[in-house]
Chains A and B, each alone.
Chain A
Amino acid sequence: MDERISLSRRKLLHTLAGAGVIAATDLAWWDAPYIGPRRAFGAEPVRFQWSVPDQTRIALMNSMVERFNQSQKDFAVQIEYVPQAQARQKLISAITGGNPPDLCQVWDNWVGQFNGMGAVEDLTARAKAWKHYADVAPTAWQTVTINDKIVSLPLAVTLDGIYYRTDRLKELGLKEPTPDWTWDEFLALAKGFTKADKNQYGYGMRGGGTWALLYPSEFAYGNGAEVLKDGKVVINSKEAIDALAWYLDLALKHKVTPPSAATDGFVEIVETFGRGVTSMYQHNSGSSGQQKKNVGAANFATLPLPIGPAKKRASFWFSETLTMFKGAKNKEGAWQFMTFMLDDEQSLKYNTTLGLLPARQSVLKQPEFANDPTLAGFINSFPIGIVSPYLAYPGWGGRIDSDGVPLIQQAILGKIPAKDCLDRFAEILKKEMS
Chain B
Amino acid sequence: MTTLTIAKPRTRPLISWRVRKLLIGYSYLVPAALCMLATVVVPIILAIKMSLYADVLYKPQDYRFIGLGNYVRLIEDPVFWLTLWNSVIWVFGSVIVQFLFGFAAALLLQQAFRGRALVRTLTLLPWIIPGVVVGLIWQWLYQPNYGVINDLLIRAGWMHERLAWLSSPDTAMGAVVFTNVWRGIPFFAIMLLAGLQSVPDELYEAAHVDGAGVFSRFWHITLPLLRPIIVVATATRIIWTFNYADLIFVMTGGGPANATQITSTYTLLQAYSSLDFGYAGALSVVLLLVMLSFTFVYLRVTKGVEETG
Chain A residues with CB under 8 Å of chain B are: 88-89, 92, 96, 112-118, 199, 207-209, 258-265, 268, 272, 275, 277, 394-395, 398-399, 401-402, 405-407, 409-410, 412-413, 415, 434
Q: Tell me which of A117, A199, A207, A434 contacts B256 (CB under 8 A).
A: A207
Tell me the count of chain B residues lying within 8 A, CB to CB, of chain A: 35
**Smallest CB-CB separation from B162: which chain A residue?**
A259
B164→A262 contact, CB < 8 A: yes
| A contact residues around B161 at 8 Å (CB) | 259
Q: How far is the CB of A274 from chain B (nearest CB, A)?
A: 10
B144→A260 contact, CB < 8 A: yes
- List 18 additional A-B contacts (Cβ < 8 Å) besides A92-B57, A260-B167, A262-B167: A116-B57, A117-B58, A117-B60, A207-B167, A207-B255, A207-B256, A208-B255, A259-B167, A263-B252, A263-B255, A263-B256, A395-B274, A401-B269, A402-B273, A406-B256, A413-B168, A413-B256, A434-B59
| A contact residues around B172 at 8 Å (CB) | 263
B257→A409 contact, CB < 8 A: yes
A413→B169 contact, CB < 8 A: yes
Tell me the complex Cα distance, A207–B169, Å. 13
B145→A199 contact, CB < 8 A: yes
B145→A272 contact, CB < 8 A: yes
Tell me the complex Cα distance, A118–B59, Å. 9
| A contact residues around B146 at 8 Å (CB) | 272, 275, 277
Given contacts A96-B57, A263-B166, contact A402 B274 (CB under 8 A): yes
A263→B58 contact, CB < 8 A: no
| B contact residues around A272 at 8 Å (CB) | 145-146
Tell me the complex Cα distance, A96–B164, Å. 40
| A contact residues around B163 at 8 Å (CB) | 259
| B contact residues around A277 at 8 Å (CB) | 145-146
| A contact residues around B275 at 8 Å (CB) | 92, 113, 117, 398
Tell me the complex Cα distance, A401–B254, Å. 11
Chain A interface mostly:
helix
Tell me the complex Cα distance, A265–B56, Å. 27
**Smallest CB-CB separation from B270: which chain A residue?**
A402
Q: Can you spell out 17 A-B residue pairs with CB atoms less than 8 angstroms apart? A: A92-B275, A112-B58, A113-B57, A114-B58, A199-B145, A207-B256, A260-B145, A260-B166, A260-B167, A395-B58, A398-B275, A399-B274, A405-B255, A409-B255, A413-B168, A413-B256, A415-B169
Given contacts A261-B167, A262-B167, A264-B167, contact A395 B56 (CB under 8 A): yes
Q: Tell me which of A88, A259, A412 contacts B272 (CB under 8 A).
A: A88
Interface residue ranges of B243-260 to A (CB < 8 Å):
252-258
From A112, A115, A199, A260, name the one whose CB has the most chain B CB atoms within 10 angstroms.
Answer: A260
B162→A199 contact, CB < 8 A: yes
Tell me the complex Cα distance, A92–B274, Å. 12
Tell me the complex Cα distance, A401–B269, Å. 8
Tell me the complex Cα distance, A351–B252, Å. 31
From B144, B161, B163, B166, name the one whose CB has the most chain A CB atoms within 10 angstroms.
Answer: B144
Q: How far is the CB of B130 from chain A (nearest CB, A)?
A: 13
**Smallest CB-CB separation from B172: which chain A residue?**
A263
A113→B255 contact, CB < 8 A: no
The 7 A-B residue pairs with the shortest CB-CB distance, nearest first, are A116-B58, A398-B274, A410-B257, A259-B164, A401-B273, A260-B164, A409-B257
| A contact residues around B144 at 8 Å (CB) | 258-260
**Smallest CB-CB separation from B57: which chain A residue?**
A117
**Smallest CB-CB separation from B60: which chain A residue?**
A118
B62 at the interface (CB under 8 A from A): yes
| A contact residues around B234 at 8 Å (CB) | none
Tell me the complex Cα distance, A208–B249, Å. 12
Q: Tell me which of A262, A398, A434 contacts B273 (CB under 8 A).
A: A398
The interface bits of chain B over 43-67 (1 if a CB of A lies within 8 angstroms of the residue's CB, else 0) are 0000000000000111110100000
**Smallest CB-CB separation from B145: which chain A residue?**
A277
**Smallest CB-CB separation from B82: which chain A residue?**
A406
B222 at the interface (CB under 8 A from A): no
Tell me the complex Cα distance, A264–B60, Å. 35
| A contact residues around B258 at 8 Å (CB) | 406
A263→B167 contact, CB < 8 A: yes
Tell me the complex Cα distance, A260–B166, Å. 8
| A contact residues around B60 at 8 Å (CB) | 116-118
